[in-house]
Structure 1
Amino acid sequence: MKATDLMVKCLEAEGVDYIFGIPGEENIDLMDSLSRSSISFVLTRHEQAAAFMADVYGRLTGKPGVCLATLGPGATNLITGVANAQLDRSPLIAITGQAERTRLHKESHQNIDTVQVFKAITKYDQQVLAAETIPEIVRKAFNLATRENPGAIHISLPVDTAKEETNGEPPYIGKQAKAAPNKASLREAATLIAGAKDPIILAGNGVIRGRASEELKALVQAGNLPAVHTFMAKGILPFEHELNLFTVGGQKLPDELRPLLAADLIIAVGFDLVEYDPKAWNSDRSRRILHIHAAPSETDEHYPVALEVIGDLRYSLMALTTYVEQRSESSAHFAIRRRRLQQLQALPSPPEQLPQKIMQYLSEQLPPDAALISDVGLHKLWVSRWYQPKRPGQTIIFNGLASMGVSLPGAIGARLARPDAPVVVVSGDGGFMMNSQELETAKRLGLAFTIIVFNDKHLSLIEKHQQDSDLAVTQISFTNPDFALYAQSFGIAHRSARTPEEFSAALEEAVNSGELNLLEIIHKR
């Protein structure tokens, strides 16, 4: 058989359903093999968008999303999306074509060393130099992509290797054993918690990845432990839960509203340092860290780990729950919850009154299984602060690389990952226009979801940083197309809103329409 036939057999054995990307001359053999397979190829309009689709698909399913590009510019166009998956711990496999092995050593057309290019942003980066190695390379790639910490993998397939005749079969794929935590470390963790005056749980993205939200909630209840969550862990506790001290990160709050500052022990559960810089909440290094994760902690002077409990998070949390003792209520943290609740429910400054109300309507009107995907910009802070999901793992916020333009392609990945669940995108006009060409992809695939775009003709987050730094506000304004005509040109529905009431009605129509919708919010400044 041809080498690409063997690669496709290996991809099928790994359970790949979709590959997102753009073909090129150097991967036409792989495309030919895919045409006879059970795998659906999703033709995108830009390789960066293909990687974003694979990122969200992997994030929601737990199995690697796969993207494909040709050599040279096709490969380099993937880079932002691959790096986004790597920093957000999303399992992703990027496959790129490459020139013939006989010209890799010299300057030649479209030839760059993509293995070196991808090395810094992947967990594993391998060129296929012989066809018979394909089964081992593919198996290793999928294994590493899904182990903690999950991340991105790059496989380079030279065009002459792709054409080779070979024999082989996909290797045996066994189950990954769950690593159980050390019992002695669990008992020591319970002792550490019992000896703390004001401990608090800091829940991170690892809890979502490990499907451990219910186990975390049980620990909170068993120990009467207050908890905060990062942007990427929204929904772990219900908004109304008396021990939920809400989201941390991003927004600069007065000290009296910052729960981590009132603690002497931070119980970091599934927390990745990329989510919230410890220097922001432990600058004096006075707070000790109990690190509970599937992987050892990163070294950081502001993250002084007193104890690590390493193992499968569900096992770790279930076991720790049996050891912890019920604590009396922390008066310091109870006061912070009350003050933060008042702040969240207070009427904000005029420019934020419309966004706050929109987040309230999204919280109230979206069904429990709806996925909300936020782009990157000032609206991401609005989502993290005011949007309250009904379930964990339903809110996608990108907070590692935090690339603009990720949400529309991400919604395509989300709809394919969970075909029966509604999907809503929240984006600024800056981020939306970076990958708006993927409206054609979504329309061609017949996917229904709603894209909410705040139209204020500004890079609002950069403007805010300029203002907060007492610098000149410059180079942050632009013009937009007529979004009604723009939507019409792609054959999709357009709705607009200028008030919260108009938005509420438009949202209900859009979500219930069963169509692809662009809902424009005209946000006057």
Structure 2
Amino acid sequence: MALHMFETLADSFVAEGIETCFALLGDANMNWATALSERGVRMIYVRHEHCAVAAATAYARKTGKVGIATVTCGPGVTQILTALPAAVRARIPLVIFAGESPLGAAWYNQELDQAPLITATGAIYRQLHHIPRMTTEIRDAFATAQEQRCPVVIGVPLDLQSKPAPDAAAPPASSDAILPRTTALRPNPADVTDLTDHIAQVRRIVVMAGLGAAGAVDACRALADKTGALLATTLPARGLFHGDPFSVGIAGGYSSTLARALFAEADLVIAVGCRLSQHTLDKGKLFPGAEILQIDTDPRALSQGMAAANRHLCGDAKLAVEALTQAMPQQPGWRNDRLAAAITDAPSDTAEFPPEPNVLDPRDVVAALDAALPQDWQMVNSSGHCAFFSAHMNRPFATFLTIREFGAIGNGISYAMGVAAARPDDTVVLFDGDGSLLMHVQELETIRRHGLNILICALNDRAYGSEIHKLRDEGLSDAGAVFGATDLASIARGFGIAGHRVDDLTQLPALVAEFARSGGAAVWDFPISDHVASPVIRRAHPTGHSGTERPIDIKALL
């Protein structure tokens, strides 16, 4: 018996080697999704379309594969318009089967011109309206997602999905057919020589790595050793140099107090495999006296409105860094034992705040969790005010995920589900704020139903944290951003998972041991102060908090 087109399209997805799909079913995608499930693909059925795309985004980042999601047409598509820009800006490959309203219907309640909505987010939209080319279009969508590192949304009219499939053989999968096999790009030797001569005259260097340097970690360490440089990473790549005594952590708006003081003294930043974004350079304020050398396969003159780099070296991260290291003379740089000790001991934030009864300092909460949680558990850093604190946990890159390119809160629970699907044998820990968690709290039911092993640590300030500090800085009422206490632990129990309110941090070792034994899912509700402002907020809104900065005597360390 001839297959329907929805079955043949499911076969085309399976041919691409997909293993997991995040889905919310409706008329325009449910037959296709059911066929996909029948072909052995693991389906994770979420409660909101946004969460399907956001979870696929984290899954793709964690696995290196194309993330797959499916939503229905019309309202299913409009619900994903916040998740898509985050994937676009993070350059994450997705293929999303969205369906379309039937072409043959005189009127359809959910009819919508979907293409302009999708392209407005920066994603690519493909309409599959010609049955003989549909399987080829699927192959091309996967190729485009991988080559351009972006989401591709596929619209297949509902009535065409039910048509008999032609007998023509499906084209080969994108990975087998058309994706080019490229070799690593070697840097121009003349450029290396010119740059080496210049670097040899510089004393205080920072080697800063992004996600593009993930395969060049050892090479970057060797260059830093040769030049006496400090090591740093962008926020998405945080933890790449975990354990190195001269790694100062994150470069950008999330830099620690010590790192920021050191960066102010830098003469040269060697940026390897990273975008020189406004966040990474803190709008040009992070390295006020330094030249910037960008090493990339596609270096850019302009980045987010800034002429960020003074010099460029085009080449593969590992090969270019190795070439520089080989050509460089040994330099003392600014490394010494005092500085190494300070890097080891310095807290991420040195500000002091008056103690408050019945609430915790979020920095104390994160420090206690960092000490108690096993090093091999997967950590997910969400968005919002409290994200600064958990971003500074002492964890390696392989067990930490953060995606913040669009600045939207509410993604944390979805990203945790994506990581849990990507690492089914691991325990996943999400750090989120109460405001962000409550945006998609319905997914607690998804977590329970699919048996995902996720521990949610909610830093509960009973408000939208960034907004209250900004409003206070403006001298305005914060009433619109303060919502009052929400019993997140009871909400978790209502969804059928464990919930605990944690007022005493000395309880954590026992709680962690019990969760490690039992597994499953849980929400731990930490009541935190709404007066402890992160350094990011304090710099931009200096009067909206009660903190006192404790300066670092950087000269004594150099």
TM-score w.r.t. the length of structure 2 is 0.84
Q: Secondary structure at the match of 1:396?
A: strand
Residue in 2 that maps onto 1:92 = 94
Cα displacement (A) at 1:41: 1.9
TM-superposition CA deviations, 1:197-233 (whole Å, max 9, x none): 43212222333xx444343333323433212222222
Residue in 1 that maps onto 2:403 = 398
Residue in 2 that maps onto 1:47 = 49
Residue in 2 that maps onto 1:408 = 413
Given candidates 410, 427, 430, the residue that maps to 1:425 is: 430
Letter in 1 for 2:57: D
Residue in 1 that maps onto 2:74 = 72
Q: Confirm or deny that 1:513 pairs with 2:521.
A: no
Q: CA 1:464–1:177 in structure 2 vs 1: closer, same or farther (change >3 Å)? A: same
Residue in 1 that maps onto 2:144 = 144
Q: CA 1:252–1:39 in structure 2 vs 1: closer, same or farther (change >3 Å)? A: closer
Q: Confirm or deny that 1:297 pairs with 2:339.
A: no
Distance 1:423 1:114 in 2: 35
Given candidates 184, 201, 205, the residue that maps to 2:207 is: 201
Contact 1:95–1:156 at 8 Å: present in 2 too?
Answer: yes
TM-superposition CA deviations, 1:122-156 (whole Å, max 9, x none): 45321112123233333333233234x63322222
Distance 2:412 2:256 in 1: 27
**Consecutive unaligned residues in structure 2, runs of 5 or more:** 531-558
Q: Confirm or deny that 1:271 pairs with 2:278.
A: no
Contact 1:204–1:271 at 8 Å: present in 2 too?
Answer: yes
Q: Secondary structure at the match of 1:432?
A: helix
Letter in 1 for 2:172: P
Q: Secondary structure at the match of 1:38?
A: coil
Cα displacement (A) at 1:108: 5.4
- 1:116-155 equivalence runs, <5 A: 116-147=116-147, 150-155=149-154
Cα displacement (A) at 1:340: 9.5
Q: Secondary structure at the match of 2:264?
A: helix
Shifted more, 399-408 versus 257-266: the winner is 257-266
Q: Secondary structure at the match of 1:344?
A: coil
Distance 1:4 1:333 in 2: 65
Residue in 1 that maps onto 2:155 = 156
Contact 2:84–2:123 at 8 Å: present in 1 too?
Answer: no
Q: CA 1:348–1:395 in structure 2 vs 1: closer, same or farther (change >3 Å)? A: farther
Q: Secondary structure at the match of 1:519?
A: strand
Distance 1:321 1:356 in 2: 38
Cα displacement (A) at 1:273: 3.8
Distance 1:203 1:459 in 2: 32
- 1:424-503 equivalence runs, <5 A: 424-503=429-508
Given candidates 28, 31, 38, the residue that maps to 1:29 is: 31
Contact 1:274–1:400 at 8 Å: present in 2 too?
Answer: no
Higher-Rg structure is: 2
Q: Confirm or deny that 1:60 pairs with 2:62.
A: yes
Cα displacement (A) at 1:434: 0.7
Shifted more, 300-309 versus 417-426: the winner is 300-309
Residue in 2 that maps onto 1:223 = 227
Cα displacement (A) at 1:286: 6.0
Q: Secondary structure at the match of 2:299?
A: coil
Q: CA 1:70–1:122 in structure 2 vs 1: closer, same or farther (change >3 Å)? A: same
Cα displacement (A) at 1:293: 2.5
Distance 1:192 1:4 in 2: 60
Shifted more, 406-415 versus 309-318: the winner is 309-318
More helix by share: 1
Residue in 1 that maps onto 2:534 = none
- 1:240-255 equivalence runs, <5 A: 241-250=244-253
Q: CA 1:278–1:362 in structure 2 vs 1: closer, same or farther (change >3 Å)? A: same
TM-superposition CA deviations, 1:418-466 (whole Å, max 9, x none): 1122210111110111111111111111122211112221111221233
Distance 2:97 2:312 in 1: 36
Distance 1:285 1:134 in 2: 53
TM-superposition CA deviations, 1:391-439 (whole Å, max 9, x none): 2132222220132121112111111101122210111110111111111
Residue in 2 that maps onto 1:168 = 169
Distance 1:306 1:454 in 2: 41
Distance 2:204 2:123 in 1: 37
Cα displacement (A) at 1:85: 1.3
Residue in 2 that maps onto 1:323 = 327
TM-superposition CA deviations, 1:356-411 (whole Å, max 9, x none): 22222333333332211122122101112x3110x213222222013212111211
Cα displacement (A) at 1:94: 1.8
Shifted more, 131-140 versus 410-419: the winner is 131-140
Distance 1:522 1:479 in 2: 11
Q: CA 1:394–1:284 in structure 2 vs 1: closer, same or farther (change >3 Å)? A: closer
Q: CA 1:2–1:304 in structure 2 vs 1: closer, same or farther (change >3 Å)? A: same
Letter in 1 for 2:387: K
Distance 1:112 1:136 in 2: 25
Distance 1:277 1:520 in 2: 31
Q: Secondary structure at the match of 2:111?
A: coil
Shifted more, 58-67 versus 158-167: the winner is 158-167
Residue in 2 that maps onto 1:375 = 382
Residue in 2 that maps onto 1:16 = 18
Contact 1:201–1:225 at 8 Å: present in 2 too?
Answer: yes
Cα displacement (A) at 1:353: 6.4
Distance 2:295 2:68 in 1: 30
Distance 2:301 2:373 in 1: 37
Q: Confirm or deny that 1:233 pairs with 2:270.
A: no
Contact 2:298–2:314 at 8 Å: present in 1 too?
Answer: yes
Letter in 1 for 2:222: A
Letter in 2 for 1:199: I
Distance 1:213 1:275 in 2: 24
Contact 2:382–2:430 at 8 Å: present in 1 too?
Answer: yes
Q: Secondary structure at the match of 1:66?
A: strand
TM-superposition CA deviations, 1:51-81 (whole Å, max 9, x none): 1110110000001111111111101111211
Residue in 2 that maps onto 1:364 = 371
Distance 2:315 2:123 in 1: 20
Identity of aligned residues (%): 23
Contact 2:249–2:255 at 8 Å: present in 1 too?
Answer: no
Residue in 1 that maps onto 2:541 = none
**Consecutive unaligned residues in structure 1, runs of 5 or more:** none
